[in-house]
Amino acid sequence: MTQPAESLLAKVRALLAKAEDPASTTAEAEAFTAKAAELMAKYGIERAMLADANADTDTPADRIITMDNPWAREKQGLVAGIVEALRGQAVLRDKGSLHRVHMFGYQSDLERAELLYTSLLLQMTQQLAHVEVPWGENARAYRRSWIIGFRYEVVRRIKAAEARAVAEASRPEAASSSGRSTELVLADRKAIIEQRVFAEFGKLKARRTTYRGSGFGDGQAAGRTANIGQTGLRGGRRAIGGDR
């Protein structure tokens, strides 16, 4: 691995450590996480382009994570969203009270996914502990909708950071030593992972996420960087996205 890639990952870890610090304000934590996502996206592209010239530096892999309660299924959704934002695939595997996520991707992308998940889970847990449930509302329903809102927003931000990094790396001079463009390299990697998952599981069905409670907007705000101003969604029973 190149020295610049190592340096980027070291900066990512430092930023996430600041975001996880209880002394950081919510705005500071969000800003640290946003910058970490930006650098992590650049790191992912560097590793992908390096592997295009030397395949042994980054190969397809898979890992299984087991989720603990409380909120095991919601944690599954967070992991799955992060993995898929990083061009991998996640299969949710439930058996009774056991909730697992089988992650597929290139080694560097799974490394990034686990690093992000560990940090975001800690940040989410810290913030959720201080959430005030509106008077008269079911506490569990509100907190669950808050978690789903948080997950929705952080995954959106990760996808946006990845898209920006790809756009910046898509200049003619950014082609790999093999002469292939960034878009083609990343598309091929994603296709290889999809083929691997299909070979093992066949066609996957999406799991539709529904919720009750008005916490989605507050959770979305908690997962948003300080310089992004979007109106959160609130109330009722809604469905968002699709987790596998």
- Cα(29)–Cα(208) distance, rounded to whole angstroms? 30
Q: pLDDT tens, 171-189?
A: 665 555 557 888 999 999 9
| Residue type at 244 in one-letter notation | R
Alpha helices in 21-67 (DSSP H): 26-53
| Residue type at 74 in one-letter notation | E
Q: How confident is residue 3, by pLDDT bands cut at 50, 70 and 90?
A: low
Kindly state the average pLDDT of the residues 123-130: 87
Report whether pLDDT(157) > 80: yes
**pTM of the predicted model as reported, rounded to 2 decimal places:** 0.81
Report whether pLDDT(5) > 70: no
Query: Do 209 and 187 contact (CB within 8 A), yes or no?
Result: no
Over the chain, what is the mean pLDDT?
81
Three-state DSSP class for 149? Answer: helix
- Cα(94)–Cα(92) distance, rounded to whole angstroms? 6
Q: For the ranges 27-41, 82-96, 146-160, which has the lowest average pLDDT?
A: 27-41
Q: pLDDT tens, 204-227?
A: 877 767 666 667 778 887 776 422
pLDDT of residue 174: 52
Query: Do 220 and 152 contact (CB within 8 A), yes or no?
Result: yes
pLDDT of residue 173: 56
Q: For the ranges 12-26, 28-42, 167-181, 226-240, which has the lowest average pLDDT?
A: 226-240
Which residue spans within 57-179 are E strands per DSSP? 60-67, 89-95, 98-106
- Cα(244)–Cα(228) distance, rounded to whole angstroms? 28
Determine what percent of the chain is predicted with pLDDT higher than 70.
82
pLDDT of residue 241: 40
Closest by Cα among 38, 16, 14, 27 to 158: 38
Query: Do 175 and 182 contact (CB within 8 A), yes or no?
Result: yes
